[in-house]
Amino acid sequence: MSEYEPKIVSFLCNWCSYGAADLAGVSRFQYPDNFRVIRIPCTGRMSPKFFLSALREGADAVWVSG
Amino acid sequence: MTLSEVTSISGEAGNFEVEVLKKPRYVDMNKCIACGACVEKCPKKVDNDYNAGLNKRKAIYVEYDQAVPLKFAIDAENCIKLTKGKCGLCEKTCPTGAINYDDKPETVKLNVGSVVLAPGFKAFDPSVFDTYQYTKFPNVVTALEFERLLSASGPTLGHLVKQSKDHEEPKKVAFFQCIGSRDINRCDNGYCSSVCCMYAIKEAVIAKEHSGGDLDCAIFYMDMRTHGKDFERYYEKAKDDGVRFVRSRVHTINPVPETNDLEVRYVDDQGKIQTEVFNMIVLSVGLEIDGSTIELAKTLNIELTPGNFAQTGTFTPVQTSRKGIVASGAFLGPRDIPQSMVDASAAAGVAGEGLAPVRGTMLKEVQTTPERDVFGEAPRIGVFVCHCGINIGGVVDVPSVAEYAKTLPFVEYTADNMFSCSQDTQDKMTQIIKEQNLNRIVVAACTPKTHEPLFQETLMAAGLNKYMFEMVNIRNQDSWVHKESPEKATEKAMDLVRMGVAKVALQNPLAEAQLQVGQTAMIVGGGLSGMAAAETLALQGYETHIIEKSDRLGGNALKLYKTPKGEVIGDKVAELVESINSNDKIKVHLNTTIENVDGFVGNFKARLKENGEEAFLDHGIAVMATGGKAYTPDEYMYGNDPRVLTTLEMDEKMKSDDSLVKDADCAVFIQCVGSREPERPYCSRVCCTHSVDNALELKRRKPDMNVFILYRDIRTYGEKEYLYKEARDAGVIFVRYDLENKPKVSVDNGNLKIVVKDHVLNRDLEIEPDVISLATAIVPNTVNDLAQFYKLPMNDDGFFIEAHAKLGPSEFATDGVFLAGIAHYPKPIEEAIAQGKAAASRAITLLARKEIFTSGQVAKVDPVLCSSCGICVNVCPYSAPSFKTEGPFAGKAEINPVLCKGCGLCVASCRSGAIHHNGFDNDQIFSQIFAVNA
Amino acid sequence: MEFVGLEEDRLHFSWISSAEAVKFADVAKQVAEKVKVLGPNKKFVKRYPTKDTE
Amino acid sequence: MDAYTDKIKEISKKILSEGKVDVVIGFRKGTLGYMSEPYMAKSEKEAENLVFDCNCRMNLVNYVTNRKDKVGIVVKGCDSRNLVTHIIENKIKREQLYIIGVPCTGLADKKALLDLAEGEITSVEDDNETITIKGDGFEKKVAKSDVLQSNCKTCIKRNPVIFDELAGPEVAELEISDRFADVDEVEKMSADERWNFFGELLSECTRCYACRNACPLCYCPTCFVDESRPQWVGKSDNETDVLTYHFLRAFHDAGRCTDCGACEAACPMDIKMRYFTRKTIKDCVEKYGSEAGMELDKRPALDQYKINDPNEFIK
């Protein structure tokens, strides 16, 4: 690989950031393609297990957004 | 019905004929997928009204991105094709053929029983003022324009810049209050617009936040009116955060030569003339009723107030002068969001009162396909990848993604569709699911937020459980945002599809629990709001019980004298009590307390103590109308001298025309007694109006009486402002004091004496009144046990915390429990009654369903793994988890699916891993994590 | 996580309302940039025997 | 210390004979002179075996989890706080308990004693000031403060917070100047230094779970490391798995750990896993102002969300 492209696992709240991400699409705002989104019903669903697991499985970073 | 106008209403309550003019949209709503391709091509730019004209939109447009319905429309006045017959680019571009230039206006006739008017307001246009030179100086903007400048979705994406050509960031911003409000010299709006003080503070705070804090914001005001719930706290916090408040009305603005700045001249608190230079001036424009609304009111034969708002009665706050037509929102008077929400619910409730007999008579049955049992089957996953025309297909290599999906575990069938959401594709998908015997479906397309329900219907039509589905977002979160790197976008799409397939493989069919809603309502509190709620519930046909701890209905209203509109409160309350008592749907329980409550929405059971005897009441919903009382002051000689009264005591004396009042030559009202103090940092909302009204009444009775009102800010919001003016005209003397320099009351030679510092004269003023009326704070009744029974939150002041401060003022986060009256926040009669009706109306939306279907995506406890630690019971905001009290797993937690909102907080909190989350279970999320990397 | 030595920028939290598309894109850019600066994550990664641990 | 022992015996005999409890959970002398072991006295006769000394390192709260009978229990200050958490978390009911509180002057560090000994230790005597170590042909006296177990040096609650009877008069609480010096030390390191520090710290861990088993907070029917749907944490001594275990264990104890030190005392490899739990204690104290198990009506810090919880980490 020529340039390092991190994989970032994103946990997005269905009601907030997931909607914002959709809207970013509608508005055609361009942003990096490093994110792999997992939709969660609420950031309250976010368990430390998921951070650990994501890192364990080779994610370069985790982004949780409510 | 959008783009529509009511042209006439004939008939009468229960049988109106409404004529509606439906204007053409030129876009077929059924075909438009809101992809926005047309907007990119449209060559015609138009001022964007939504952003207060600060930027441009196209002639084909959607007003804002979250608009409902999210369908585009053509602005016929500006469209080149419609005005000049040329262009037609949008028609060529539209991938679904939704454009129809031949769309025609049509007139629709509706037969309805009740009408709700919610025409809203328009912001005051300050162009008419030459003082503020709004049209001349670019850096004089309206608050609405400023709001858009601060908004992340606004023309500058939330970046605050000056509107002069330099577009630099301002360093100093001034807000001028009461522009187009409380002003009969230069405009006709004598009323207070009620919301501007608060929005100005909010804008100042946000502007400071956006610019990192060194922005100077000064608000020039006459009286600071933060009378809403938690608003006073916000005001105090804004002061702490450095927002400056200057009590002065500015009359002159001069441009500073060679710059785009503006010099402001004003008279300060000490009466000195000051000048200060600002980069931007925000005009806090008021609310007013649009001319077209006034026309409509004339057409409909609705009476208006002097401010052109709908005329209503204090005890019938949403009822217009024409029977069967109710109103809500700013048409009833200038108001904020929570009040508008209250009105809206109240209007719906009152409108429904007349419709109760025919409810449910025009329903149609829906056809359903029986669900196929897939238990024990290995996953057979179908993956459908959507091109969405060129929206996805233009960036992502859709066929390759579909091809790739074939290689994933359990995937039996893949296809790529041009438009997955079109009806013919839906039919085809149904057929394929049946033919291929698929039991789990992945659709890689737009976003589940808009399209999940549609595809779930397709699953159901094919006999699959609707939860055996996962949507993969490869448009909004992929093709649209990575246009420049199609390869990477394709790679991402494949990753996302892999994650979706991994998740859906572990999905099981979910059942939606069904719950009967008990059709009985229980109202706690027999004051005005409680009675208003009972009336609406009973008139809509529900058995209603009022629980009142005292020996009579009426609450605080029994002590009041008259309304500012002149209605005698005692008579009106008696009428209401009579109508409650004579309604056979309403049962009143006097001398009754609630000892305990079990159950949940639809199935509450209360243990009552009625006249000392135990009784039980099953109820489906409950309304908390527990009210409040007057604070008992310990200052201003209260309790030490019989001539010092509280407002309620003053009302009694005025009712009976007591000699204390009748013989008085001088009366003083002291405002904010116990309110807006550190220990009670809220405004009690009603006291200014009440004192002003009583002062006026004294003047009416005895015009030469000396009447003083000692105040901090006069908060006669809305059209109550007329009273304030009337009082000044009648010679009531208003003297302002500060919290730091409160008036001092003493007795000198048997005479009452008040010393207060007069700001205008800057010296002490001595008054020797014969009677003093203290505007005491309103404090909520103590209802800790009730709060505990229903698990309802309370704020530091003891008022209940509603579900949502703006959007859900009359309900709780706990399902099935509603809120009205002073228990929510201090409020005058009309607002308490409106909220009673609003709470009833919100309750009816639940009762009318008779049964509730819960979502399948809820949390569920595995009792074997549960360690009974109680963390789930404690963290849940909706009180869904509880401990089992019987059976083999007694002591273990269980979650009521009816109350569970599926947020997953308990699942994440459970150390023992005992809680499963249907639809978002740990194994599913882990499988997605595992699938991130191939 | 920081305490055990994971770099601060490997974990990001944000609050973005559903209307804040701009903020979403901005934060996304910042997050991606910060993680790029860090380089590939080597901590906490489970190394499976079958996988190249290079 | 003998006074404590006598009083514990006296109380135990009384409550057993009166039928107030079915069993008294306490300590008796262990087979090794420097270790006392848990003991369940079910009769007045057995109560005669009870002791209390500076070797009572175990947290007996561990033994009351989910008991259905009536239990007398001997608790130190820290243990009593675990008992509070146990009651809050429905592990035992207050009514079932007869709590014999020990105003504690600290435990002796096992390793420090062994280092001082010149042979096998046969007995360790403790008079709250001085510790006398006796063995084959040697006797040594040391100031108790010199051999205190490290958690006892930063103890914030030596007297029990909850009890029915005390085994002696209350003792003065410690004045601690630098409670989290060890944690601060680690926080000062760079990310890589920290990573290496913990790698080193855990390198000897064999995943025997002695720490988990010694901990009264670890009572889940199935521990997350044993979850199988999916098995996301490996059961091996692979460094990532080991770190995941210790990390998440600390997370589960956050807001609940009383720093009783039972985990470290139980560890056969002398791993200082209290670095993890102490970090969580520090955070709970600094961010939420909350100490575990101080009040019966106050749930652990992380059980609740408050509107003014710190949120600087969120953008």
For residue range B420-447, list pLDDT tens digits in order. 988 889 999 999 999 999 999 999 999 9
Residues D242 and D195 in one domain: yes
Of D222, D224, D303, the CB nearest to B871: D303
Separation of alpha carbons B394 and B824, rounded Å: 54
DSSP at B472: E
Q: Does A53 touch chain D (CB under 8 A)?
A: yes
**Amino acid, res. D17:** S
- Residues from chain A that touch B489, judged by Cβ atoms under 8 A, are 33
**Number of folded domains that form chain D:** 2
Separation of alpha carbons B439 and B509, rounded Å: 10
CA of C22, closest CA in chain B: separation in Å? 6
Q: Are D219 and B867 an interchain contact pair (Cβ–Cβ within 8 Å)?
A: yes
Task: Map residue B643 onto helix, strand or coil.
Answer: coil
DSSP at B48: -
Phi (first) and psi of residue D2, to 5 degrees? -60, -35
Q: Does A64 touch chain C (CB under 8 A)?
A: yes
Q: Does C47 touch chain D (CB under 8 A)?
A: yes
Q: Does A27 touch chain B (CB under 8 A)?
A: yes
Residue C52, pLDDT score: 34
Q: Which two tokens stand for residue B796?
A: 């530091």
Q: Are B874 and D299 an interchain contact pair (Cβ–Cβ within 8 Å)?
A: yes
Separation of alpha carbons B450 and B473, rounded Å: 11
Separation of alpha carbons C32 and C36, rounded Å: 6
pLDDT at A30 over 90: yes
Using an 8 Å Cβ cutoff, are B773 and B691 in contact? Answer: yes
Which CATH architecture fits B516-627+781-852? 3-Layer(bba) Sandwich (3.50)
Residue B88, pLDDT score: 92
Residues D162 and D194 in one domain: no
The residues pairing with B730 across neighbouring beta strands, listed in sequence order, are none
User: Which of D116, D147, D174 is where one domain is finished?
Assistant: D174
Of B66, B157, B481, the CB nearest to C22: B157
**Number of folded domains that form chain A:** 1
Q: Does A60 touch chain C (CB under 8 A)?
A: yes
Mean pLDDT along residues B912-927: 93
pLDDT at D306 over 80: no
Separation of alpha carbons D217 and D220, rounded Å: 8
What percentage of chain B has pLDDT greater than the value 90?
A: 82
Q: Are B152 and C18 an interchain contact pair (Cβ–Cβ within 8 Å)?
A: no
Residues 6+ apart with CB under 8 A from B251: B131, B265, B266
Phi-psi region of D261 (alpha: psi -120 to 50; beta: other; left: phi over 0): left
Angle of helix B486-505 versus helix B922-932 axis, rounded to 10: 150
For B758, what's the count of Cα atoms within 13 Å in the CB-facing half-sphere? 13
Phi (first) and psi of residue B693, to 5 degrees? -65, -45
Helix (H) or strand (E) holding D40: strand D36-41
Separation of alpha carbons B846 and B852, rounded Å: 8
In the CATH scheme, what is the code of domain B24-104? 3.30.70.20
CA of B145, closest CA in chain C: separation in Å? 18
Mean pLDDT along residues B32-52: 90
Residues D163 and D202 in one domain: no
Task: Map residue B876 onto helix, strand or coil.
Answer: coil
Q: Which two tokens stand for residue D4?
A: 């404590």
Q: Are D230 and B866 an interchain contact pair (Cβ–Cβ within 8 Å)?
A: no
Of C19, C25, C39, the CB nearest to A31: C25
Of B480, B495, B907, the CB nearest to A25: B480
* Domain residue extents for chain B: 24-104, 122-288, 381-505, 516-627+781-852, 631-777, 858-917
CA of D244, closest CA in chain C: separation in Å? 8
Task: Map residue D73 onto helix, strand or coil.
Answer: strand
Residue of A nearest to B876 (CA): A44
Task: Specify the CATH number for B858-917; select among 3.90.120.10, 1.20.1740.10, 3.90.320.10, 3.30.70.20.
Answer: 3.30.70.20
Task: Scan for tokens 């499985």, then name that residue.
Answer: A57
Closest to B803 (Cα-Cα) out of B871, B875, B878: B878
Question: Across chain D, which distance is largest between two alpha carbons, in Å?
Answer: 66
Task: Map residue D63 onto helix, strand or coil.
Answer: helix
* Fold category of B381-505 in CATH: Rossmann fold (3.40.50)
Closest to B626 (Cα-Cα) out of B823, B771, B799: B823
Query: Does residue D123 form part of some domain?
Result: no
Q: Are A51 and C45 an interchain contact pair (Cβ–Cβ within 8 Å)?
A: no
The counts of H helices and E strands in chain A are 2, 3
Q: Are B481 and C25 an interchain contact pair (Cβ–Cβ within 8 Å)?
A: yes
Separation of alpha carbons B538 and B583, rounded Å: 8
Any chains having at least 3 CB pairs less than 8 A from chain A are B, C, D
**Amino acid, res. D32:** L
Q: Are C22 and B65 an interchain contact pair (Cβ–Cβ within 8 Å)?
A: no
Residues 6+ apart with CB under 8 A from C49: none
Closest to B74 (Cα-Cα) out of B120, B110, B38, B47: B38
Range of the domain at A60: 8-65
Homologous superfamily of B122-288: FAD/NAD(P)-binding domain (3.50.50.60)
CA of B41, closest CA in chain A: separation in Å? 15
Task: Scan for tokens 């937020």, then name that residue.
Answer: B449
Q: Are A66 and C14 an interchain contact pair (Cβ–Cβ within 8 Å)?
A: yes
Residue B728, pLDDT score: 97
Separation of alpha carbons B739 and B743, rounded Å: 9
pLDDT at C53 over 80: no
Q: Are A52 and D244 an interchain contact pair (Cβ–Cβ within 8 Å)?
A: yes
Phi (first) and psi of residue B332, to 5 degrees? -85, -5
Model confidence at D311, in pLDDT bands (50, 70, 90)? low
Q: Does A42 touch chain D (CB under 8 A)?
A: no
What b/e readout covers B519-551, taking b as 16+ CB neighbours within 10 angstroms?
ebbbbbbbbbbbbbbbbbbbbbbbbbbbbbbee
DSSP at B26: S
| B493: number of Cβ within 10 Å | 29
The secondary structure of B336-383 as a DSSP string is -HHHHHHHHHHHHHHHHHTTGGGTTTT------PPPPP-TTPPP-EEE
* Domain residue extents for chain C: 1-54
Q: Does D212 touch chain B (CB under 8 A)?
A: no
Q: Are B481 and A57 an interchain contact pair (Cβ–Cβ within 8 Å)?
A: no
**Amino acid, res. D277:** T
Interfacial D residues in 81-120 facing B (CB < 8 Å): 88-91
pLDDT tens, residue by residue, D159-176: 999 999 999 999 999 998
Q: Are B481 and A31 an interchain contact pair (Cβ–Cβ within 8 Å)?
A: yes
Separation of alpha carbons C25 and A20, rounded Å: 9
Q: Are B152 and C25 an interchain contact pair (Cβ–Cβ within 8 Å)?
A: no
Using an 8 Å Cβ cutoff, are D83 and D61 in contact? Answer: yes
Model confidence at D315, in pLDDT bands (50, 70, 90)? low
Using an 8 Å Cβ cutoff, are B699 and B802 in contact? Answer: no
Q: Are D194 and C43 an interchain contact pair (Cβ–Cβ within 8 Å)?
A: no
The number of C-beta contacts closer than 8 angstroms across C and D is 47
In the CATH scheme, what is the code of domain B631-777? 3.50.50.60
Q: Are C40 and A26 an interchain contact pair (Cβ–Cβ within 8 Å)?
A: no
Highest mean pLDDT among B577-581, B790-794, B889-893 belongs to: B577-581
Closest to B207 (Cα-Cα) out of B173, B181, B234, B176: B173
Q: Are A48 and D251 an interchain contact pair (Cβ–Cβ within 8 Å)?
A: yes
Mutation site, B504, B917, B925, interface A, largest A CB count within 10 A: B925
Q: Does C2 touch chain D (CB under 8 A)?
A: yes
Q: Does B158 touch chain A (CB under 8 A)?
A: no
Q: What angle do CA B660, B666, B672 make, to 5 degrees?
A: 90
User: What value does the CA radius of gyration of chain A take, rounded to a whole number of Å?
Assistant: 13
Model confidence at D253, in pLDDT bands (50, 70, 90)? very high
Phi (first) and psi of residue B907, to 5 degrees? -60, -45
CA of B903, closest CA in chain A: separation in Å? 5
Residues 6+ apart with CB under 8 A from B562: B568, B569, B693, B697
Residue of C nearest to D195 (CA): C5
Residue A1, pLDDT score: 41
The more confidently predicted of residues B705 and C9 is B705
Any chains having at least 3 CB pairs less than 8 A from chain C are A, B, D
Using an 8 Å Cβ cutoff, are B521 and B544 in contact? Answer: yes
Using an 8 Å Cβ cutoff, are B325 and B113 in contact? Answer: no
Of the listed ranges B640-649, B758-767, D268-277, the least confidently predicted one is B758-767
Residue B399, pLDDT score: 95
Q: Are A56 and C1 an interchain contact pair (Cβ–Cβ within 8 Å)?
A: no
Phi (first) and psi of residue B808, to 5 degrees? -135, 60
Q: Are B911 and D220 an interchain contact pair (Cβ–Cβ within 8 Å)?
A: yes
- Helix spans in chain D (H): 2-17, 44-47, 77-88, 110-116, 150-153, 181-188, 191-202, 210-214, 239-253, 262-266, 274-288
C-alpha pair distances (Å), B744 with each of B660, B735, B769, C52, D105: 21, 13, 12, 84, 59
Q: Does B361 touch chain A (CB under 8 A)?
A: no
Residue D128, pLDDT score: 84
Q: Does C48 touch chain D (CB under 8 A)?
A: no
Q: Does D296 touch chain B (CB under 8 A)?
A: no
Closest to B495 (Cα-Cα) out of B929, B926, B922, B924: B929
Residue B861, pLDDT score: 95
Q: Does B807 touch chain A (CB under 8 A)?
A: no
DSSP at B800: B
CA of B439, closest CA in chain C: separation in Å? 33
pLDDT tens, residue by residue, B90-127: 999 998 899 999 999 999 999 999 999 999 999 999 99
Range of the domain at D83: 1-108+156-174
C-alpha pair distances (Å), B174 with each of B219, B264, D68, D223: 6, 9, 70, 60
Using CA atoms in the order B667, B669, B670, B672, what is the torsion angle rounded to 10 degrees?
Answer: 170
pLDDT at B760 over 80: no
Of A4, A20, A26, the CB nearest to C23: A20
Query: Does residue A3 form part of some domain?
Result: no
Residue D313, pLDDT score: 62
Same fold, B24-104 and B381-505: no
Any chains having at least 3 CB pairs less than 8 A from chain D are A, B, C
Residue D212, pLDDT score: 94
Model confidence at C49, in pLDDT bands (50, 70, 90)? very low
**Amino acid, res. B506:** L
Residues D286 and D209 in one domain: yes
| B896: number of Cβ within 10 Å | 21
Q: Are A55 and C17 an interchain contact pair (Cβ–Cβ within 8 Å)?
A: no
**Amino acid, res. C53:** T
pLDDT at B53 over 90: no
Peptide bond into D230 cis (omega under 30): yes
The residues pairing with B618 across neighbouring beta strands, listed in sequence order, are B605
Residue B282, pLDDT score: 97
Q: How many Å separate Cα D286 from the centre of its chain?
A: 22
Query: Does residue A61 form part of some domain?
Result: yes
